[in-house]
């Protein structure tokens, strides 16, 4: 009897449980379908992509060829705008700066001399020479007058008179020479002399600026706040400034915000617009989506940027570069290859 009651009870519970489980299953299915069908969840465009800093990868090199005196940072270091990242051997450039600075001082002193004229001692000496020459001249004139009277009285010969005449003329010439020398020393500088001295100063200053600019090129500074992504050279190694073969010392980037450079197939270019939402996935982060939005759509089709390394991959496909800026705080390795997806329809993706 007890066994019969228990069996009846079990059957009743089973009968009641079936509708309940059916309702729960329908509810879960409905919820699942709602999640899949929610606007902006179904991928509209998919393509391969690669993670990069918001500044892109910036390769820092040297404008001059030479040997590295020091490389002051390591990979992963945080750096700041203007920070010295590396220094070339630059003793010769520093010497050129010092030599040019000395030339500036010399030319400036010459200009001051032209502008200020002679010193007071030189003026006094020149004036004293004028007074001395004048006294000699006056004495010679007095002596000549006396000799002329003696010649008129028949006391001296004409030859003696002419000798005193010549001496008087010489003393007058010496006086005029001393006077002109004093006027030259005491006068202001000529305009052409000032201009020439000023031009010498400007040339010397330009040479100093050039020497400083060359010296500054031996000091490699950071152009932005960011992170050292790659260190290509170390202390003592030589670097080149060749324009044909890049020779970077460091690769840096601003990693506070990350972007994904996505390859959009040419058949899908009409589906991608600014402001659309998107996300990326990576094999290294299973079951994770990293969200962002489209911030740039290219204007020209080009060859693929991201290769999957699969043998069957087509390399002649034309793509349109699209940038997806990931949400703030997203942490992914730079250069990581990902699968990128743009969601939403074209209208909902357009910025308002």
**pLDDT recorded at residue 143:** 84
**pLDDT recorded at residue 187:** 62
**Neighbouring C-alpha atoms within 13 Å toward the C-beta of 205:** 7
- The per-residue pLDDT for range 221-249, each reduced to its tens digit, is 999 999 999 999 999 999 998 777 789 99
First to last CA, the chain: 75
DSSP 8-state code for residue 307: -
**pLDDT recorded at residue 118:** 57
Residues of the chain with pLDDT under 70: 1-42, 117-120, 122-123, 182-189, 307-316, 345-352
pTM of the entire structure? 0.63
**pLDDT recorded at residue 330:** 93
**pLDDT recorded at residue 34:** 28
Burial class (CB in 10 A: 0-12, 13-18, 19+), 250: buried
Output the six-digit token pair for 21: 């489980």
**pLDDT recorded at residue 13:** 45
- Cα 136 to Cα 128: distance, rounded to the nearest angstrom: 12
């Amino acid at each position: 009897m007890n066994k019969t009651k228990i069996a009846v009870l079990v059957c009743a519970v089973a009968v009641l449980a079936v509708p309940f489980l059916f309702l729960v299953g329908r509810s879960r299915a409905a919820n699942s379908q709602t999640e899949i069908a929610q606007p902006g969840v179904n991928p509209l465009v998919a393509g391969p992509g690669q993670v990069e800093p918001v500044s892109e990868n910036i390769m820092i090199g040297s404008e001059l060829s030479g040997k590295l005196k020091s490389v002051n940072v390591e990979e992963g270091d945080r750096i700041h705008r203007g920070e010295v990242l590396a220094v070339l051997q630059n003793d010769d450039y520093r010497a050129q700066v010092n030599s040019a600075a000395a030339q500036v001082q010399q030319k400036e002193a010459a200009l001051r001399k032209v502008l200020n004229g002679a010193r007071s001692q030189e003026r006094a000496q020149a004036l004293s020479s004028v007074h001395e020459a004048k006294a000699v001249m006056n004495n010679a004139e007095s002596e000549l007058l006396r000799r002329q009277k003696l010649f008129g009285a028949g006391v001296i010969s004409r030859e003696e008179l002419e000798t005193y005449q010549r001496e008087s003329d010489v003393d007058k010439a010496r006086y005029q020479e001393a006077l002109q020398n004093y006027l030259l020393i005491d006068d202001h500088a000529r305009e052409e002399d000032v201009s020439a001295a000023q031009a010498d100063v400007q040339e010397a200053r330009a040479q100093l600026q050039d020497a400083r600019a060359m010296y500054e090129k031996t000091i490699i500074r950071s152009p932005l706040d960011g992170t050292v992504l790659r260190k290509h050279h170390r202390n003592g190694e030589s670097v080149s400034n060749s324009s044909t073969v890049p020779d970077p010392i460091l690769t840096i980037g601003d990693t506070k915000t990350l972007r994904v450079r996505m390859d959009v197939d040419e058949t899908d270019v009409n589906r991608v617009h600014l402001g659309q939402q998107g996300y990326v996935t990576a094999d290294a982060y299973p079951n994770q989506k990293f969200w962002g939005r489209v911030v740039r759509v290219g204007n020209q089709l080009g060859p693929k940027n991201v290769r999957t390394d699969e043998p069957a991959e087509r390399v002649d496909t034309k793509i349109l570069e699209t940038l997806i800026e990931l949400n703030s705080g997203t942490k992914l390795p730079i250069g990581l290859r990902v699968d990128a997806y743009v969601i939403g329809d074209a209208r909902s993706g357009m910025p308002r």
